[in-house]
A = this chain, B = another copy of it.
Amino acid sequence: MTGLPNSTPEHLLASDRDAGFEIGPEFERFDQMNDMFTRAMWDPKVQSKDSDGFFSSYRMEAAPRRGEGFAQRDFALRNAAWIVSDVISNRSAGDGRREGFQGHILNDTPVAADQVELRAPEREASEIKRLAKLFGADLCGITHFDLRWHYTRRPDTRDMTPIPDPLPEGLTHVIVMGHAMDFDLVETYPSALAGAATGLEYSHETAIVLQLAAYIRNLGFDAVPSMNDSALVIPYAIKAGLGEYGRNQMVLTPEFGPRVRFSKIFTNMPLAVDKVRELGLSAYCLDCTICADACPVKALPDGKPQWAGGSPSTIKGVRKWSANCEACFGYWVKLKSDCAICMRVCPFNNRGGWRDVIWCKIARSRWRALARWWAEKRARTRTKPRMWWNEGGGK
């Protein structure tokens, strides 16, 4: 536990230990200029005809038409699913901000002049979680604001130059929300059809972060709605007690396995924070390589967590499982859609039927070797997109 930024307060370091985070002397905050999506817009090592085609496929006139799972109806559904997210993310395009992706979401609601009288932080936290669910979130946890996970810079999307994206001063807490993706659509990965599951949750989370942040601002506190912008959500989701890190680079949750997206709200409202939870999910990953084996471009690691580095798209100085991001994204741009085979095949991604519940219970216990054996018997094959269209996704 050496080499941590000197300024990191002790309570955050203590929760690093609880979460099993290993952060070394090479640790550097991440620069959003280096994420794969951003690099595909400026880095000649990543940008290509295929990557340009990937982005333009989100407009129908440029979407491919090439057979099952990638035909006009599939792209039509995927692109329609995204539209609420698109409307918000595009509204500041003229100012070089892609709200919720490259730059935080701008607020539509001023902070009320009167602050409500607050009750105990535990009571306020449980109310916020209840309202997050009323607005449609599937999971909600709260943790401390932690500058280490925040991007140093974002691109100005007009010319892809790096610029700061300052948040208001004095933010102290982060509300992390989970949004479960549609099981039946995910069963069709890889396909443009499956990308509708992604678009649906981006649209849901856009609506939900806008609503919950507006609520907090209406109470007289600051709140910034955030999706993929501003900070890495994975460490925040783990610190908020929502899950553990998986071999497939995703947060695994007891409720949905990796089949969940996360959004966040930064606030100065005093709220009780959640504890990190030991869930037995990462422990299972240590001896399971189903996701790595299923990856068509072998982008996932099959060994133990390593000190990350190597690619500019991988955060430095953290011991963790890290993907070959270039290989992963290279596959996406060939498909002209997002791939999440590693989410689909994860044995923690299941319908939640009674056999699934029993399997999860065993997998998270010290009998996990038995669960690994059983997981092989239980492995599902991909749903063919035409089955989804014809039969309601196997339901």
Contact = CB atoms under 8 A, between A and B. Distances in A.
Interface of A: 60-61, 65, 72-73, 75-77, 79-81, 83-84, 86-88, 91, 108-110, 112-114, 116, 127, 130-131, 134-135, 182, 196, 200, 203, 207, 210-212, 214-215, 218-220, 389, 392
Given A131-B77, A215-B76, A207 B109 contact: no
Contacts of A75: 218
Given A203-B207, A392-B130, A80 B215 contact: yes
A161 B114 CA distance: 37
A210 B83 contact: yes
Given A182-B134, A211-B203, A108 B88 contact: no
Contacts of A131: 77
B83 A211 contact: yes
B116 A212 contact: no
7 contacts: A76-B112, A77-B215, A79-B218, A80-B215, A81-B135, A81-B211, A134-B200
A212 B88 CA distance: 17
A81 B136 CA distance: 11
Given A83-B211, A83-B214, A219 B109 contact: no
B84 A211 contact: yes
A113 B211 CA distance: 36
Given A110-B61, A112-B76, A84 B218 contact: no
A72 B203 contact: no
B215 A72 contact: no
Nearest to A76: B218
A196 B80 CA distance: 27
A174 B81 CA distance: 20
B108 A83 contact: yes
Contacts of A135: 81, 200
A73 to B, nearest CB: 6
A116 B215 contact: no
Contacts of A77: 131, 215, 218
Contacts of A116: 72-73, 76
B60 A112 contact: yes
A186 to B, nearest CB: 13
A77 to B, nearest CB: 6
A76 B210 CA distance: 13
Contacts of A220: 72
Given A61-B110, A130-B392, A219-B72, A214 B182 contact: no
The 7 A-B residue pairs with the shortest CB-CB distance in the complex, in nearest-first order: A76-B218, A80-B215, A80-B214, A60-B112, A83-B214, A84-B207, A60-B218
Contacts of A207: 84, 203, 207
Contacts of A112: 60-61, 72, 76
A298 to B, nearest CB: 33
A61 B219 contact: no
A116 B211 CA distance: 36
Contacts of A81: 135, 211
Contacts of A65: 114
Contact of A219 (B73, B110, B218): B73
Contacts of A72: 112, 114, 116, 218-220
Contacts of A203: 207, 211
Given A80-B218, A113-B61, A218-B60, A87 B73 contact: no
